[in-house]
Amino acid sequence: MKHFLKRIVFLILAFVLFSNGATAQKYRTPKEANQSLDAIAQANSTKVKVHKLAQTAGGNQINIYEFGTEIRSEQKNKPAIFVMANPEGNLPLATEAALFLADELLKSDHLERFTYYLVPVLNADALNHYSENPLWETLRNAKPYNDDMDDVVDEDGPDDLNKDGFISQMRVLDPLGIWIPEEADARFLRKANAAKGEKGMYKLYTEGLDNDGDGIYNEDPIGGVNSGINFPHLFKPNHNASGAWPGSETEVYALMRFVYAHPEIAATFTFGSTDFCLQAPEAGRKGSADLNNIRIPRRFADMFGADPAVTYSMEQVMEMAKPMVPEGVELTPALVAGFLGLGAAVNPLDEDLQFYNELNKQYKDFLKAKNFETERLSPEKSKDGSFELWSYYHIGVPTFSFNFFTLPKAKKEKAESESSLSIEQLEKMSSDDFVALGEEKIASFLKENNAPERFSAKRIIEMLKGGQFTTAQMAATLKQIPKSKKEGELDEKTKAFIAYNDLTLNGTGFVSWTAFEHPTLGKVEIGGEKDYITTTPSYEDGQKLIAAQLPWLFQMVEKLPQLSILKTEIETVSDDVYRLNVWIQNQNYLPFPTAMGSRNGQPAPAVLLLDGKDVAFLDGKARTPIAKVDGLKSVKLSFLLQAKKGTELVLKLESKFAGSDQAKISLSK
The CB-of-312 to another protein minimum distance in angstroms stands at 15
- Residues 6 or more apart from 58 whose CB is under 8 A from it? 124, 125, 128, 141, 142, 143
Phi, psi values for residue 92, rounded to 5°: -55, -35
199 burial (CB, 10 Å; 0-12 / 13-18 / 19+) is exposed
Stretch that binds another protein, among 88-96, 124-132, 249-257, 640-648 (CB under 8 A): 249-257
Q: Minimal CA–CA distance to 579: which of 460, 667, 516?
A: 667
Q: Minimal CA–CA distance to 270: which of 281, 258, 286, 284?
A: 281
The CB-of-244 to another protein minimum distance in angstroms stands at 5
Stretch that binds another protein, among 183-191, 534-542, 581-589, 616-624 (CB under 8 A): 616-624
Q: Binding residue for another protein (CB under 8 A) from 602, 634, 642, 660?
A: 602
Beta-bridge partners for 112: none
- Alpha carbons 81 and 359: distance in angstroms, whole number: 18
- Alpha carbons 659 and 562: distance in angstroms, whole number: 6
Q: Binding residue for another protein (CB under 8 A) from 116, 202, 387, 393?
A: 393
Beta-bridge partners for 581: 569, 638
Interacting residues with another protein between 269 and 328 (CB under 8 A): 288, 290, 297-299, 308
Helix (H) or strand (E) holding 97: helix 92-107
Site string for another protein, 132-171 (x = CB under 8 A): --------------x--xxx--------------------
What is residue 597's three-state secondary structure?
A: helix
- Alpha carbons 500 and 375: distance in angstroms, whole number: 13
Neighbours of 63 (CB within 10 A): 22
Q: Give yes or no for residue 238 binding another protein (CB under 8 A).
A: yes
Interacting residues with another protein between 530 and 549 (CB under 8 A): none
Q: Binding residue for another protein (CB under 8 A) from 59, 144, 341, 522?
A: 341
Q: Minimal CA–CA distance to 125: which of 64, 54, 66?
A: 54
Stretch that binds another protein, among 45-53, 169-177, 336-344, 570-578 (CB under 8 A): 336-344
Q: Give yes or no for residue 237 binding another protein (CB under 8 A).
A: yes
Phi, psi values for residue 103, rounded to 5°: -65, -45
On whether the CB atoms of residues 362 and 478 are closer than 8 A, the answer is: no
What is residue 575's three-state secondary structure?
A: coil
Site string for another protein, 254-273 (x = CB under 8 A): --xx--x-------------
Stretch that binds another protein, among 36-44, 266-274, 545-553, 617-625 (CB under 8 A): 617-625
Phi, psi values for residue 161, rounded to 5°: -65, -40
Q: Binding residue for another protein (CB under 8 A) from 70, 253, 408, 579?
A: 253
The CB-of-290 to another protein minimum distance in angstroms stands at 8
Q: Give yes or no for residue 519 binding another protein (CB under 8 A).
A: no
Stretch that binds another protein, among 116-124, 485-493, 618-626, 630-638 (CB under 8 A): 618-626
- Alpha carbons 594 and 588: distance in angstroms, whole number: 13
Closest to another protein by CB, 308 vs 507, is 308
Q: Binding residue for another protein (CB under 8 A) from 43, 209, 244, 320?
A: 244
Interacting residues with another protein between 178 and 217 (CB under 8 A): 212-215
Point out which residues bind another protein (CB under 8 A).
146, 149-151, 212-215, 232, 235, 237-238, 244-248, 253, 256-257, 260, 288, 290, 297-299, 308, 338, 341-344, 393-394, 599-602, 604-607, 621-623, 625, 627, 654
